[in-house]
A and B are shown apart, each in its own frame.
Chain A
Amino acid sequence: MTHEEKRAWIRLVDAVLGYAVYLVLLLNRVDGRPLTDVPYVGVMLWTIGAGVLAAIVAEVVLAAASPGASRVSDARDRQIGRLGDHVGQAFVAIGAVGAMLMAMAEWDRFWIANVVYLCFTLSATVGGVAKVVIYRRGVPEW
């Protein structure tokens, strides 16, 4: 497994786990209230921050665990990276347009922030799945 493939796995797992932790923490705070009344800002920011930190730590640990492993990336890694990012990009656009429409319709900020976070997560997840599948099955010809 190349260094870039390991990074793709780390980011995929990190995105899924990070969002799952956020949902669990958020739903534990509901306590019978409407969702829009749940204090979500701190949980969301801490979860995102912890996710970024966890990905960095995981990469460092993985590198330390196999010091002899090559960190070289080549044209195939870059091509797979671009393909994966391209696949995931759609969800960033959907999140941005969704947030814009929700702001125009004066939805509660809770929903706007959560739609944006969900779409970032979907982008990272779908893009990450695309990358690991392409690494395993081969780069497709279009």
Chain B
Amino acid sequence: MVKPTRVTNSIRALRFAHGEMTQAELAERIGVTRQTLIAIEQGRYSPSLEMAFKIARVFRTPLDDVFQYPDSEGDQP
């Protein structure tokens, strides 16, 4: 079944907090196209774990500060 991703992120806020880094600049630093970075920011694409770590490393912040996955009823602990 196709469903939208529930992963949210704070990339946009982090970019602005880091000297208003542009999407193109961040995309180049993690080795993806600007369109892919836009898709990640807008929640239209869930990056691989490796790509997520690369993004977190650029901002020198833990992964949890970049990506969030909401709790929901019925989830196993």
Contacts and interface: CB of A to CB of B under 8 A. Distances in A.
Interface of A: 1-2, 5, 70, 72-77, 137-142
B40 to A, nearest CB: 8
Given A75-B51, A76-B39, A141 B32 contact: no
Nearest to B7: A141
A77 B51 CA distance: 14
Contacts of A140: 2-4
Dominant secondary structure at the A interface = loop
Interface of B: 1-5, 31-36, 39, 42-48, 51
A72 B5 CA distance: 25
B46 to A, nearest CB: 7
A141 B33 contact: no
23 contacts: A1-B35, A2-B33, A70-B34, A72-B32, A72-B33, A74-B31, A74-B32, A74-B33, A75-B48, A76-B45, A138-B4, A138-B5, A138-B39, A138-B43, A139-B45, A139-B46, A140-B2, A140-B3, A140-B4, A141-B3, A141-B4, A141-B5, A142-B1
Contacts of B42: 138
A74 B39 contact: no
Given A140-B3, A142-B1, A142-B2, A77 B46 contact: no
